[in-house]
């Protein structure tokens, strides 16, 4: 049985958005990969995915859609995943444990887990959350079909809201922008629909940036978390994004980590609340350049790992990538993945940002080559990003 797969799906809501998305899935099984590849050729999806690479502040399109934006993606998980328990929590946590053989879901008692390596609190600090807003989120056939196509592969699927905390050049939770209550109401309806789907993860927002006040943004995230849990989605992972495009390198220094450390579930726990971080390997961390110049270990992953351990938290690298023809990317990507795997107590996994067959020329494409009925992974995938590549036990370059 192949390893767990993961695909990102973009949730377009708040009257919402379809932009820029090329997250993807990795499939060791060509049948599973092809299944998604063929699905994305459905005419309606092709029309949705054409010319949708809008800038983050550009008015967004295709209100009310979810779309499957990718098809070939890199290993979402490591050989083992475990939960880091909050100091004061005595609850049980559902944890996904994945081996190169078959994924298994187990329940572990967090009371037996080791305490963080510092005296810092894990953050059981309830926030004042606005009341839920009103309005009805319009689901479409594409919404449901996209998510079901992902789930049908056996994947764990991320639904994220992909508009950078913006709506028509206003900011969520700021004057003139969508209120926290509206934001929460949108997430409440999405979560209610998928409340019983254990393989759905909720990404609160893709890459917030230039947020006026990180504490206020944490309040908006808290509103979404509370709404998701109260809608019945009580066990799924929720991904918490920080400022500055949720960069792993600045997640601590810009205050995102401390602010989001106070976001809790309605019962005061931090169970399955995971920090959402991104990091590319090009010179400006934009993910728009083919050349890789760093493995990000000294500048991003090592400092973040230290903070996470001190505070009993975990992060998920939900976007990374490198040019498929650049030799340096093979070296640096393998080193980055090896470091994260060797620190899997605090790093839950990684997701390669790629493109499906609707954008085969994408600079970070992970599309396999096809000859007749034979599918061949690109070296960046087969040697680094695939869970079966062995890169997780390789050198970090340190």
Active site residues: 207, 319
Strands 166-167 and 238-241, how do they pair?
Answer: unpaired
Q: Is the CB of residue 237 less than 8 Å from the CB of residue 275? A: no
Angle (deg, nearest 10), helices 180-193 and 214-230 = 30
What is the distance between the alpha carbons of residues 199 and 237, in angstroms, rounded to a whole number?
A: 9
Q: For 266, list phi and psi in degrees, rounded to 5.
A: -55, -25
Token pair recorded at residue 116: 């963080």
Q: Is the CB of residue 166 less than 8 Å from the CB of residue 202? A: no
Strands, DSSP E only, in the chain? 6-11, 66-68, 92-97, 104-109, 156-161, 166-167, 170-171, 200-203, 238-241, 273-278, 315-320, 347-352, 369-371, 374-376
Q: Is the CB of residue 281 less than 8 Å from the CB of residue 296? A: yes
Closest CA to 132 of 2, 258, 231: 231
- Residues linked to residue 381 through DSSP beta bridges, in sequence order: none
What is the distance between the alpha carbons of residues 16 and 109, in angstroms, rounded to a whole number?
A: 39
Strands 238-241 and 374-376, how do they pair?
Answer: unpaired
What is the distance between the alpha carbons of residues 339 and 294, in angstroms, rounded to a whole number?
A: 13
For residue 18, how many other CB atoms are within 10 A of its CB? 23
Q: Is 244 helix (H, G, I), strand (E, B) or coil?
A: helix
């Amino acid at each position: 049985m192949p390893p767990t797969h993961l695909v990102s799906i973009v949730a377009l809501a708040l009257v919402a958005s379809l932009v820029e998305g090329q997250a993807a899935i990795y499939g060791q099984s060509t049948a599973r990969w092809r299944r998604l590849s063929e699905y994305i050729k459905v005419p309606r999806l092709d029309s949705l995915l054409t010319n949708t690479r809008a800038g983050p502040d550009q008015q967004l399109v295709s209100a009310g859609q979810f779309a499957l934006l990718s098809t070939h993606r890199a290993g979402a998980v490591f050989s083992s995943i475990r939960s880091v328990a909050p100091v004061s929590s005595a609850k049980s946590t559902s944890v996904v444990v994945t081996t190169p053989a078959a994924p298994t879901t187990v329940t572990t008692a967090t009371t037996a887990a080791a305490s963080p390596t510092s005296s810092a609190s894990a953050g059981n600090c309830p926030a004042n959350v606005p009341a839920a807003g009103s309005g009805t989120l319009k689901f479409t056939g594409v919404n449901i079909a996209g998510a079901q196509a992902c789930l049908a592969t056996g994947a764990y699927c991320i639904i994220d809201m992909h508009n950078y905390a913006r709506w028509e050049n206003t900011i969520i939770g700021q004057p003139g922008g969508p209120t926290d209550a509206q934001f929460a109401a949108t997430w409440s309806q999405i979560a209610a629909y998928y409340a019983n789907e254990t393989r759905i993860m909720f990404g609160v927002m893709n890459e917030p940036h230039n947020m006026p006040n990180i504490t206020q943004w944490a309040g908006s995230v808290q509103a979404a978390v509370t709404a998701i849990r109260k809608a019945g989605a009580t066990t799924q992972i929720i991904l918490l994004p920080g400022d500055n495009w949720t960069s792993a390198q600045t997640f601590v220094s810009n205050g995102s980590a401390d602010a989001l450390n106070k976001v809790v579930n309605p019962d005061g726990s931090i169970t399955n609340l995971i920090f959402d971080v991104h990091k590319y390997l090009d010179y400006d961390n934009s993910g728009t350049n083919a050349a890789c110049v760093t493995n990000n270990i000294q500048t991003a992953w090592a400092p973040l790992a230290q903070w996470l351990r001190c505070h009993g938290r975990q992060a998920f690298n939900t976007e990374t990538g490198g040019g498929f023809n650049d030799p340096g990317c093979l070296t640096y990507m393998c080193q980055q993945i090896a470091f994260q795997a060797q620190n899997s107590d605090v790093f839950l996994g990684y997701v390669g940002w790629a493109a499906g067959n609707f954008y085969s020329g994408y600079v970070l494409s992970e599309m396999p080559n096809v000859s007749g009925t034979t599918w061949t992974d690109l070296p960046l995938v087969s040697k680094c990003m695939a869970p079966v590549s062995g890169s997780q036990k390789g050198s970090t370059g340190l």
